[in-house]
Structure 1
Amino acid sequence: MRLRIASFLTVAIVLGIGAGIAPSHDANTPSKPTTLQQFGLVGDGKTDDTNAMQRAVDAGLGQIHLPKGNYRLTQPIVVDLDRVGPTSITSDATATITMAGPGPALRFQGTHGGTAAPSTVKANVWERQRMPLVEGLEIVGDHAEANGIEADGTMQITITRCLVRKVVDAIRLTGRNRNVIIADCHLYENRGVGVFMDRLNLHQINITGSHVSYNQRGGIVAKKSEIRNLHIGTCDIEGNMGGRDSIPSANIELDSTDSSIGEVAIVGCTIQHTHDAPNSANIRINGKSNPVRHTDERRHGNITIADNILSDVQINIDIERCRAVTITGNTMWKGYERDLIARHCSNLVVGNNVFDRNPRYHYADGSGAKHGVVFENCSNATIIGNHIAGVGDIEAAMVARRCRLLNIVGCTIVGFGKCGLLLDDVRTSRVSDCLIRDDEAENDAISIKVVGGAGNMIVDNLVSHPDTSK
């Protein structure tokens, strides 16, 4: 019996069985790298880590978790999702990627050609491409043409808790993407745009809880893109327009020229600065829609702008050729040209907003801000419960020009200077139950002035300076 036990133990030791002893390997068989260091990543801020990081991605590790260090790149790291499989590039906020070459530091490439509906997502997309993740990284530019993160053809790309600075565009979405999430990021001090939707076909994108600040050509910008279901919420978006010599842009700019944008919600954000940039705006939406390269549809509009704080630009909200827009519950001040301008819009609701002359921050004490609200060539609009307090040297606190079917109800306009409400060539509209007073205005001031137009009803308003010119 003792001989048999001894013989079994001898065999077990030779085979590497039991007691956690691993079988031996042929010394001539190379082991597959399983750590980033084995791929040659250094992370000292001097060594070019491009090839090492690309090898790690191409090996299909899946999880590329960068430890503390500065990883210098001279070419984009391309994540070909269908080839390498599900991939995340992450850190715990201790790793920096320095992009020392042209192009994006990280480029994610997928093949998804369907919609957001599950039935259109092919099996290989679910198995190999779903939800590429970038988390906890700092990306810093060290080249005139460096960018941050780029995605094309992806399904459910998620970018969270990242800091991107000193590049051209922090996050660029192009081509075709579906179900994008950008959350809890700092997109800060870049030469281009914070989030750039560039020639993009995209349905479903959430941008939440992020700081998008001091990007010189716009905060969140869409150009030549078909966008549906864009949700921007609880972000701080400010100073994204350079200075006096910058290209006119906006903290949020959605331009439908040669494209189509619809189903947009901008809710609960602080959006402000900078009034000395030419033609600056906090929110600018051009809904003019032409035939687009993706589809023949020309739908545009269905926009909600609600519960935001907006200040210190030339125009706080500037919308043109938009349909079905709701602007409600916002607080605005320091609109140096106007607080709100709406041109060629229809089915418009502007309600329960505060347009106040508040000299916050003491820069020029707001003395150059004109404020006021303008509607031009608009139709089918309800303008209700708004409060306008104090305007500069302008023709009227609220102007409606060449409009029809306006219902202006329950508004308060005080401190209007020259004129409270101007109706210029307005037809088939109603003004009722408004309080329009300026007890310190000159005697030639007018609370409600009507020029031309026809078929209007103006009743039950409390005014301080009636129009005696009739």
Structure 2
Amino acid sequence: MRPPIKSLLAASCLCCLLVSLVRAEGTVRDFGAKGDGVADDTAAIQKMIDSGAQAIRFPAGVYRITQPITIELDHVGPVSVSGDGTATIQMEGAGPAIRITGTHGGTADPKSIKPNVWERQRTPLIDGLEIVGAHDEAIGLEINGAMQPTLTRLSIRKCLHGVVLTGRNRNVLVGECHLYENRGVGLYLNDLNLHQINIANSHISYNKAGGIVVRNSEIRNLHIGTCDIEANMSEEHPEAANVLFDVSSGSVREAAIVGCTIQHSSVPDCANVRLIGQADLPHKVGHVTIADNVMCDVAYDIDLKHARSVTIVGNTLFRAKEACIQAENCSNLVIGANVLDRIQDYGPPDTNNSVRLINCRDSTIDGLHMNGDADPTAALTLKDCSRIMVRDCTILDGKKHALWIDGSEKIRVSNCFFDGQGDKNAIIFTREHPDVKIDDATAK
């Protein structure tokens, strides 16, 4: 006796559902990947991606690859690549272990986003993987042309660079990642046009050519928050910094570095945060806020060259070898209520908690608290500056002078307290100093 048509249809639907569930829950093992650390799994992983499977899952194991795994978003559709923290991709070839390529050519304005980007390319997700480089030119991830790429819970180490963003991207999220012990840069924004990137709650350390580095790029809305960023310099890369915006070409504006610990290197001339603009166009790096961070143990905690409209406030800065803050050829700086002080059990005692402004103009220093500075010249130096207001600052127990004004003009110093200096003269003038006014500055 034949089963009723309704029963056949129900059974058919159930089979389709089961097939759909199997496909949805499939892994790279289903396409031939071994994950045994011996077999070359490149072709098997690429086969799963090219099949149209949109959830690319890696069970526990070590997956050797020898060529980049390429994800062309418009071809494969929306995709996630995940490992639940138990899988390692070991890249034994040159280039990125995973390369994500999209076609988004618009801005972050929804009106500029083509339908195929939303339908096939939005929000590529890479999550829960370890990527280890086993080749001199191996890179963790490379992303170009993507809309809303999201990188979470990744550990990337022993690569040339951890993550490279290049070309054009929009609305990037990087969170809960470990970019650690790479030979180059941890997070590299290179030759990039990007608006909107949030880098949060990540550990970016021991990368030899910089922690978070921007070069040759046009960047807007860059936010770095609540990260630990340290020791991202080396003798091979003295130009590096824990956070480096190198705007020798391009521009970086509308950026915030907030609530991080940023520290540690013995490399000469290194910096925790370094902004380098263009001498003839010193507005190409600007509208930057550096707030509520703890920085220490480098040559310069904050080093600014050719920058405009930078706010530095609420930071704890100490144990600098040259200066806690140094600015050259900058304008419209606000250096606010920061603490520059070394606690006694953080040696050595002869570190420079100083602030130096060189050839700067149109700026305000307000509410600084400095204690125990060992700079051989002064705790606060204004050299060849103009239109600078210094007010409500406290400078205590320094090795030499509190304030050194050298060849500057239109300087106002008001309501400051200088005490316990190594030299009897707390305020020193050298060369010509037209229109310099000291108003109610108590010095002992």
Shorter chain as denominator, the TM-score bin is over 0.9
Could you tell me the TM-score, scaled by structure 1's length? 0.89
What is the match of residue 433 of structure 1? Answer: 415
Relative to structure 2, which stretch is displaced further, 282-291 or 346-355? 282-291
What is the match of residue 240 of structure 2? Answer: 249
What is the match of residue 301 of structure 1? Answer: 286
Relative to structure 2, which stretch is displaced further, 46-55 or 416-425? 416-425
What is the match of residue 53 of structure 1? Answer: 45
What amino acid maps onto 2:144 in structure 1? D
What is the match of residue 113 of structure 1? Answer: 105
2: CA distance, partners of 1:159 / 1:360: 39
Paired residues for 1:351-430 under 5 Å? 351-361=336-346, 365-367=347-349, 369-430=351-412
2: CA distance, partners of 1:339 / 1:129: 44
1: CA distance, partners of 2:14 / 2:89: 38
Counterpart contact for 1:334–1:359, Cα < 8 Å: no
- Which of 247, 262, 274 is the equivalent residue of 1:271? 262
The answer to whether the aligner puts 1:350 opposite 2:335 as a matched pair is yes
Structure 1 residues 268 and 23, CA gap change in structure 2 (3 angstroms): closer
Structure 1 residues 390 and 32, CA gap change in structure 2 (3 angstroms): closer
> Residues 321-360 of structure 1: CA distance to partner in whole angstroms, max 9, x if unpaired?
1111100000000110111001111111000001113355
Counterpart contact for 2:283–2:306, Cα < 8 Å: no
1: CA distance, partners of 2:39 / 2:418: 68
What percent of counterpart residues are identical? 46
What amino acid maps onto 2:357 in structure 1? F
Counterpart contact for 1:16–1:23, Cα < 8 Å: no
Secondary structure at the counterpart of residue 409 of structure 2:
coil
Counterpart contact for 1:16–1:22, Cα < 8 Å: no
- Which of 62, 66, 80 is the equivalent residue of 1:70? 62
What is the match of residue 449 of structure 1? Answer: 428
What is the match of residue 217 of structure 2? Answer: 225
Structure 1 residues 430 and 83, CA gap change in structure 2 (3 angstroms): same
Counterpart contact for 1:354–1:387, Cα < 8 Å: yes
Structure 1 residues 23 and 109, CA gap change in structure 2 (3 angstroms): closer
What is the match of residue 129 of structure 2? Answer: 137
Q: Unpaired segments of 5 or more residues in structure 2?
A: 17-21
1: CA distance, partners of 2:201 / 2:181: 18
Paired residues for 1:11-160 under 5 Å? 16-18=8-10, 35-160=27-152
> Residues 144-180 of structure 1: CA distance to partner in whole angstroms, max 9, x if unpaired?
1111010011111000111101111000011111111
2: CA distance, partners of 1:459 / 1:450: 15
Q: Unpaired segments of 5 or more residues in structure 1?
A: 1-6, 25-30, 292-296, 465-470
What amino acid maps onto 1:91 in structure 2? G
2: CA distance, partners of 1:351 / 1:431: 14
For residue 60 of structure 1, report the CA deviation from its aligned partner: 1.2
For residue 39 of structure 1, report the CA deviation from its aligned partner: 1.2
What is the match of residue 316 of structure 2? Answer: 331
Relative to structure 2, which stretch is displaced further, 94-103 or 31-40? 31-40
Counterpart contact for 1:259–1:289, Cα < 8 Å: no
Secondary structure at the counterpart of residue 224 of structure 1:
strand
What amino acid maps onto 2:441 in structure 1? N
> Residues 175-228 of structure 1: CA distance to partner in whole angstroms, max 9, x if unpaired?
111111100101111111110011111111100000001111100000111111
What amino acid maps onto 2:61 in structure 1? G
2: CA distance, partners of 1:32 / 1:220: 38
2: CA distance, partners of 1:174 / 1:301: 21
Aligned residue pair count:
437
Structure 1 residues 400 and 168, CA gap change in structure 2 (3 angstroms): same
Counterpart contact for 2:23–2:53, Cα < 8 Å: no
Could you tell me the TM-score, scaled by structure 2's length? 0.94
Structure 1 residues 211 and 73, CA gap change in structure 2 (3 angstroms): same
Counterpart contact for 1:148–1:169, Cα < 8 Å: yes
Structure 1 residues 45 and 429, CA gap change in structure 2 (3 angstroms): same
What is the match of residue 258 of structure 1? Answer: 249
Counterpart contact for 1:196–1:221, Cα < 8 Å: yes
